[in-house]
Each structure stands twice: as structure tokens, then as C-alpha cells.
Amino acid sequence: MNFTLPPQYREAGVGELCDRIRAVRKATGKKLCILTHHYQRPEVVVFGDFVGDSFELARQAASQKGVEVTVFCGVHFMAEAADIVKTGRQRVFMPHPLAGCPMADMADMEDVNRAWKYLESLKLADRTVPVSYMNSTAALKAFTGARGGLICTSANAVKAFRYGFENKEKIFFFPDENLGANSGRKLGLRPDEIALWDFRLDRGGLTRAQIEKARLLLWKGHCHVHTNFKPGHIERIRAQYPDVKVIVHPECLPEVVDLADGDGSTRYIVDYCAKAPAGTTIAIGTEINLVKRMALAYPDKTVVPLSGEKTPICFNMYRINLNNLAYCLENYESMPPVTVEDSVRKDALTALEKMLTLD
């Protein structure tokens, strides 16, 4: 699938694009809701009715009375989540239809079904609860709901695991091995109780004994943005700023989380920056756009990217810009909305609603 903007949008200047976006905004009023994820470019965030993390945004749009069109400046699984929880006649559009999440795509349903069937053949599936990260496809969310499992965010993964272990002996967590490992470790699981299911290998690359022993099976998926942070970055930043507070996202490698002063969701990171006393130096290990926004929002604090100038960006989030936002707002009637089939929505919603009982 290709997506090429017509020249009048590709070639328009910033001023013209902003005017066009404002004009649509004014003309559509409350019928339109623009959602911008924390990792969006600053010039896009300016136009968001809400800025936040994926599920927070989806729920915001669903709770707004009179909204008919939601434009989600984020990646595909986020728009799907908005479509799953939407109310009434809302339709969800993405400014760039090819903005996906490589980590969510690492859990292909054929591979997931094969893994689960293997657990069934070992008579272990009944003793296992699937838990899926919000950063997953609607199909995986539905798979999870249909098997009595639940969804989690980076903010409530530990709670979700606790719930899982209260109900079943084992958890199979998809698709982020690092959030899974960090959450399992917070619950005191030993390394030999955690096993990594490599979907590229026959039977996950695990022996029957390893699978039987594991309390936590982790799908071998990762976020290329967050796994870029390494222990060396923390050593360097501490040498440069001896009083620095290092805060990272739990999609980072466990060895990075171990060395940090704190780890948590984007909400945690935003709150940490807001509450830190003036004069604090904070090095953040997450997507650069959020770090830059925190630095601008808190000029009385020193907020720096953990890996210095080499901080990786999420290229998919970065696909969204003023050009395709303006195009989407003016042309959504001729664009395909992001839709989740009713059969998938039903089971996905079951898994999401189970998550909401955690709070």
C-alpha cells in the first residue's frame, strides 16, 4: 500500500497548513476530536484536543459527547483501540495510514495461534492466562479476551500480572519481552521462572521442561526506540551530571531499568517532570519528542535525553506531520476509517474491560 499526498499538501508551507487545520477545526466544532500521542512532533501536538498515551486518548475520545470523527495522531494499534472503545457513530481516521508499530507487528496471529496450540498439546493452556500489552493489534487483544486474559498498559502491567497469577499458574505475555521481564522481576520472579518464546524458532526455541517450569512466558518482541538505551548511556550521563535523576520507560532493557532511579509509563514520566523541584536535572529514556516537550515545559529544570544527541525517534510516529494532518482533516470522507470487525471488537473489549477492573 502506498500513501502519497497530493502536491498541494506536500508543497504547502507551515503557515498555510496551520491555517487550513484551524479552519477545519473551526468549521467542524465538537464533531471533531484530534488526539495526539505524547511521541508526536510538537507542531502536531499543538492541534490536539488531547495529548496523552494510547488508551488514555482512546477513552477521552469515546467520552466526548457529539464527537463523530476522531483523528488519531499516533500509530495503527492506537486508532484500533479508539475504534474498539468508541461510542455511537464515531469514525476513527489516521493522518498517515501506514503509521504502524513494529513491536505490535512482531506478534503475528499465525505465530501466536501456533504457540498457544503447542501449549494446548502440552496440556498447559488451561493453566496459563494470556496478557497482552496495549501496544498490540486488535486481533491479539481479541485472542487474549477469548481466552480469559486481559490487556495491560505500561502503567498497570505489574497489577495485571498479579491478577494473572492469582487466577492461573502461568502467564503468557505478548508482545514486549522487556516490559514483561521488568514486570515479572518486580513481582519477584526468578530468572529460571521466566522463559522467552522466540516465535522465529520451532516451539519457541524452548524445551518442554523449560516451558513447564516457566511461570512467565514472554513473546520475543521489543520496541526499537526503547531498546536503544544501554547501561553505558546511564554511566555517561551520571558522569556528566552527578546529581541527575534517570527516568526510563519499562520497555527499556532490564539492565537499563535496574540502573535507573525510576521507571514508568509516559504518564509517570510526565508527572515526574512536573513534580520534580526546580533545579532538578532529569535524564529521560524514552522517545525524543516527549523529552523535548518536557524540556520546554519545565525551563526551571534541566531535562535531557538519556542517550544524548543519538536519541532514537519512533519513525512511525514521525510519519505524522502538518501536511498529512491537514490532508486528513480536509479529506477524511474519502479516506478509509480504521475499523475493527464486530467479532474482534467483542473479545478485545472483554480483555480491555478486565484491565479496567484492576484500577
Residues of this chain that interact with ligand SF4 (CB under 6 A) are 39, 75, 101-103, 135, 223-225, 287, 314, 316-317
* Closest approach of ligand SF4 to the CB of residue 78, in Å: 8
Instruction: Find the farthest-apart pair of alpha carbons in the chain and give their distance in angstroms, rounded.
Output: 63
* Closest approach of ligand SF4 to the CB of residue 318, in Å: 9
Q: How many CB atoms lie within 10 A of CB 274?
A: 11
Q: What sign results for the dihedral spanned by CA atoms 153, 154, 155, 160?
A: positive
* Phi, psi of 281, deg, nearest 5: -105, 125
Q: Which is nearer to ligand SF4, 101 or 276 (CB)?
A: 101
Nearest-angstrom CA–CA distance, 20 and 326 = 6
| Cβ neighbourhood burial of 201 (10 Å; 0-12, 13-18, 19+) | exposed
Q: Which is nearer to ligand SF4, 104 or 211 (CB)?
A: 104
* Closest approach of ligand SF4 to the CB of residue 31, in Å: 28
Q: Which is nearer to ligand SF4, 152 or 206 (CB)?
A: 152
* Closest approach of ligand SF4 to the CB of residue 314, in Å: 3
Q: Which is nearer to ligand SF4, 119 or 252 (CB)?
A: 252
Amino acid of residue 178:
N
Q: Which is nearer to ligand SF4, 222 or 345 (CB)?
A: 222
* Closest approach of ligand SF4 to the CB of residue 29, in Å: 30
Q: Which is nearer to ligand SF4, 102 or 337 (CB)?
A: 102
| DSSP run (H or E) holding 11 | none
Looking at the chain, how many residues does it have? 359
Amino acid of residue 129:
V
Nearest-angstrom CA–CA distance, 115 and 46 = 43
* Closest approach of ligand SF4 to the CB of residue 282, in Å: 19
